[in-house]
Amino acid sequence: MNKKEIHTIVLTGGPCAGKSTALSKIEKLLTNLGFNVLLVNETATELILNGLTIKRFGLVYFQKVLTEYLLQKENTYFESAKLINGKTVIICDRGAMDAKAYVGEKIFKSIIKNLHLTETELMNRYDAVIHLTTAADGAEEFYSNESNSARYESIEEAKLVDKEILKAWTGHNKLRIISNNGTFEDKINAVLETVCSIIGVPKPMEIERKFLIVKPDFNYIISNYDAKHYKIVQDYLISENNIERRVRKIFKPDGCNYYYTEKRNISDIKRFEVERKISEKEYLTYLEFKDPNFKTIEKERFYFVYKNQYFELDNYSFMPDTAILELEMANENQTAIIPEFIDVLKEVTFNPKYKNYNLAKINKKH
């Protein structure tokens, strides 16, 4: 089976976020839609309920064993999925980066170094990550430890864990945040809508708001909001039939990622989008078809979370005083809450001038 027919999605979040309900609903929905669904159960709960507890063995040893066991389980599912006919979705109840939220960056890096792995490699195991916000943050009246006997966190502890988990996954190319807006049913529906968007049922959609802003203090964002930032080089390819084609190279501390993307506008706020990870060899081959009417776009992208919203901030070398802020949304009804440290000049969601495609055009004035 071709790897692109297998989707791997992490469902994560703070304690009492609704993951169990969401997993059940996802499995039922995707099965009814004709997908093969594989569920990788949460490793921490499995270990704790079977006697391998933090109290007995200590946090560091527990997370070391958890990470090793989790990767072994996932690898079994990943390899098994290749043997299944038809389209397959692997849903992971938490993923490898979750451990970082509990032991901190220094210990986590030591654990994965001993496994000869990097954070980039762990992120790349998953096509998308869906973070469900704990009920302790915005739905406190529903926060409870009763549904999971391995759960022990107070409301304040749950909020902190939720924040640290989100921090650990910040920087993933497809991180989506599901907050406690509306009813619990609304939350679960938002999860299902997000999953369908990710796997292309009925069509993969990218929903975003875009703002032209005064260039902010990037060091402030890094220091106060744990922003991840990477250099991106983007080139547009010769295209036909109103399809926008591009390739990107993303520079990360422990290696580069390469992506091929096709886009077609559906409306001013929705776009049909197909994106897949490619090898360096494929990337170089695609560059042979670079459109001569477009220049290479070089930018630094900052990923950060503010009030349970996932922002992307692009700093272009050719824009000395301004930058572009984007908010990826689960649905069109989500309200954008702009950070107080961002000075918005105007919204440009509907202004084609600020699309990367137009910014890259030769002789384009900014």
* Other CB atoms within 10 A of residue 190 CB: 24
**Secondary structure, 3-state, 190-211:** HHHHHHHHHHCCCCCEEEEEEE
Give residue 112's pLDDT. 95
pLDDT one-digit tens code per residue, 231-243: 999 999 998 877 8
Q: How confident is the model at residue 270 (pLDDT cuts 50, 70, 90)?
A: low
Predicted confidence at residue 2, as pLDDT, reads: 42
Quote the mean pLDDT of the chain: 88
User: What is the per-residue pLDDT for 42?
Assistant: 92
Q: What is the pLDDT of residues 281-324, one digit of tens each?
A: 999 999 999 999 999 999 999 999 898 888 999 999 899 999 99
Strand partners, 208: 328
The torsion of the CA quartet 197, 4, 267, 246, rounded to 10 degrees, works out to: 140
pLDDT of residue 252: 85
Residues 6 or more apart in contact with residue 202 via CB below 8 angstroms: 196
pLDDT digits (tens, 9 = 90+) for 99-150: 999 999 999 999 999 999 999 999 999 999 999 999 998 888 878 655 454 5
Model pLDDT for residues 346-356, shown as the tens digit of each residue = 999 999 899 88
**Residue 366 has what pLDDT?**
47
Euclidean distance between CA atoms 248 and 239, whole angstroms: 16
Architecture of the domain delimited by 3-202: 3-Layer(aba) Sandwich (3.40)
The pair of structure tokens assigned to 190 is: 């938002």
C-beta separation of 226 from 218 below 8 A? no
The packing angle between helices 184-199 and 19-32, to 10°, is 50
Superfamily of segment(s) 206-359: Hypothetical Protein Pfu-838710-001 (2.40.320.10)
Residue 108, H or E segment: helix 100-114
Ramachandran quadrant class, 33 (left: phi over 0; alpha: psi -120 to 50; beta: rest): alpha
- Going from N- to C-terminal start, the domains of the chain cover 3-202, 206-359
Residue 362: band (very low, low, confident or very high) from pLDDT cuts 50, 70, 90:
confident
CA angle at 107 for the pair 104 and 108, rounded to the nearest 5°: 75
* CA-based R_g, the chain, Å: 21
